[in-house]
Amino acid sequence: MEVDQNNKPIGRWIIRNLVLAVALMIALLVITQLSLKAITRHNQVIVVPDFTDLSVSDAQIVAKRYHIRTEVTDSVYVKRMEKGHVFSQNPAPGSQVKKNRNIKLTINAHSTKMVKMPNLVGYSLRQAKTEILASGLTVGRLMYREDLATNNVLDQFIAGRYVAPGTEIEAESPVDLLLGLSPDESNTYVPYLVGFSLPVAKDNLFENSLNLGNVTYDETVQNYQDTLRAVVYHQNPSYSAGSPVRMGTTIHLKLTTSQAKIATR
């Protein structure tokens, strides 16, 4: 057997160094894996809670409990929602994130947005709707008075009072319209609304010269976001394929997020 100058077998020396090299590589791999886990917090994910409808301060309290952070990055104006409360978030509720992730919040504006009242007199109902929406307002009640031209705008009101064109009013205010109604064109039909969201149902009623009445939600609707997802499961009067009703008739709706209720209709 060959030996080195110190009379140590060369083969034994090579094996020993190979073993040491392998052990060193294994140790380095273990250290690398542990370091990566520490850096990326491997398998330590957090499910993002739902901040919708919370005030910013309440959202911060919840975020701290989940070891994440919140930041208000944008605002919208929603008249039907509490001012300063969370409208939406990114990432969405239920998303998986790492510890200390920053959740971006869009809140409902603190200040009231004001817009100018348009001049709608003389417009057709369809033209008036376009102008109302373009002005940042909403369509209110449709009131009828006998006239030569059906659905011709005769006057405009907010909360029962005439509002002159150019007057500054709160955005999304409902504009009530006084419309003409010819005796020869006074009837319409109730559309089928089950399964539609409230905005779509309301638009369908408008297209048929009908009014939206009471809107009620069942127990599945718990917050503002639920109202956006809810759909009609009951309407009164019901769908009338062949039985006409007078223009301006009021239709009452019940909404739910339960698909089971909709399926039974």
pLDDT in tens, 168-195: 999 999 999 999 999 989 999 999 999 9
Predicted local distance difference test score (pLDDT) of residue 157: 96
Write out pLDDT tens, residues 122-156.
999 999 999 999 999 999 999 999 999 999 999 99
What is the per-residue DSSP string for the chain?
--B-TTS-BHHHHHHHHHHHHHHHHHHHHHHHHHHHHHHHTTT-EEEPP--TT-BHHHHHHHHHHTT-EEEEEEEE--TTS-TTBEEEEESPTT-EEETTPEEEEEEE-SSPPEEEPP--TT-BHHHHHHHHHHTT-EEEEEEEEE-SSTTBEEEEEETTEE--TT-EEETTPEEEEEEEE-GGG-EE-PPP-TT-BHHHHHHHHHHTT-EEEEEEE-TT--SHHHHHH-EEEEEES---SS--EETT-EEEEEEES-HHHHHT-
38 pLDDT band, cuts 50/70/90, is low
Predicted local distance difference test score (pLDDT) of residue 24: 79
Q: Assess if CATH 3.40.50.2000 describes domain 45-108.
A: no
Predicted local distance difference test score (pLDDT) of residue 10: 65
Predicted local distance difference test score (pLDDT) of residue 37: 59
Write out pLDDT tens, residues 67-123.
999 999 999 888 778 899 999 999 999 999 998 999 999 999 888 889 999 999 999
pLDDT score of 16 more than 80? no
Domain ranges within the chain, ordered by starting residue: 1-43, 45-108, 112-185, 187-265
Mean pLDDT of 1-21: 63
Point out the least confidently predicted range of 119-123, 141-145, 214-218, 236-240: 236-240
Predicted local distance difference test score (pLDDT) of residue 181: 96
**CATH number for the segment(s) 112-185:** 3.30.10.20
Point out the least confidently predicted range of 26-30, 199-203, 256-260: 26-30
CATH T-level fold of 187-265:
Trypsin Inhibitor V; Chain A (3.30.10)
